[in-house]
Structure 1
Amino acid sequence: MSPRPYNMGRRRELVDETRARILAATRDLLVAKGMVAIDAIARQADVSRATVYYQFGTKIGLLEALCDELAEGGGMRRIAEAFGQPDARRSLHMFVEVIADFWAVDRECTRRLRGLAALDPDVGEVIAGRDARRRAAATAIATRLDAGPLFAPTLYTLTSFEVFDSMAADRPIREATTAIRALLDAALAIPPSPSTLNC
Structure 2
Amino acid sequence: MPKRSYVSSVRADAAAEKRSRVVEAATQLLREEHSITAFSLEAVAKAAGVTRLTVYNQFGSRQGLLEAVFDDIARRGRIMRLGEAWAAPDPRLGLDLLAEIFCEFWSSDPAIGRLQDAMLVDPDIAQALGERLGRGRQIIGALVGRLAEGRATAAQQRDTADLIFGLTGFAMFRLLAPGRSAEAVCLLVKTACGDAIRRMLPNAS
Answer whether TM exceeds 0.5 for this pair: yes
| TM-score (structure 1 length as normaliser) | 0.83
1:119 and 2:121 aligned: yes
1:172 and 2:167 aligned: no
Task: Kindly provide the CA deviation profile for residues 106-128 of structure 1, in whole angstroms up to 9, marking residues without a partner as x.
Answer: 0x211122123222344333343
Q: Is the 8 A contact 2:63 2:124 kept in 1?
A: yes
Cα gap change, 1:172 to 1:15, in 2 (>3 Å): farther
Q: Pick from 134, 147, 150: which aligns with 1:145?
A: 147
Query: How big is the shift at 1:2?
Result: 3.6
Q: How does 1:1-199 map to 2 (within 5 A)?
A: 2-33=2-33, 34=35, 35-106=38-109, 108-146=110-148, 148-149=156-157, 150-191=159-200
Q: Is the 8 A contact 2:160 2:196 kept in 1?
A: yes
Q: Is the 8 A contact 2:70 2:115 kept in 1?
A: no
CA distance in 1, matches of 2:200, 2:93: 20
| TM-score (structure 2 length as normaliser) | 0.81
Q: Is the 8 A contact 1:82 1:91 kept in 2?
A: yes
Query: How big is the shift at 1:71?
Result: 0.6
Q: Is the 8 A contact 2:41 2:55 kept in 1?
A: yes
Give secondary structure in 2 for the equivalent of 1:118. Answer: helix
Query: How big is the shift at 1:7?
Result: 3.1
Give secondary structure in 1 for the equivalent of 2:13. Answer: helix
5+ residue gaps in structure 1? 194-199
5+ residue gaps in structure 2? none
**Runs of 4+ with >4 A deviation:** none
Task: Kindly provide the CA deviation profile for residues 42-87 of structure 1, in whole angstroms up to 9, marking residues without a partner as x.
Answer: 1221222222122123322211111111111111121111111111
Query: How big is the shift at 1:5?
Result: 4.3
Quote the sequence identity (%).
Answer: 31
Amino acid at match of 2:90: D
Cα gap change, 1:2 to 1:130, in 2 (>3 Å): closer
Structure scoring higher RCO (CA < 8 A, sep ≥ 6) equals: 2
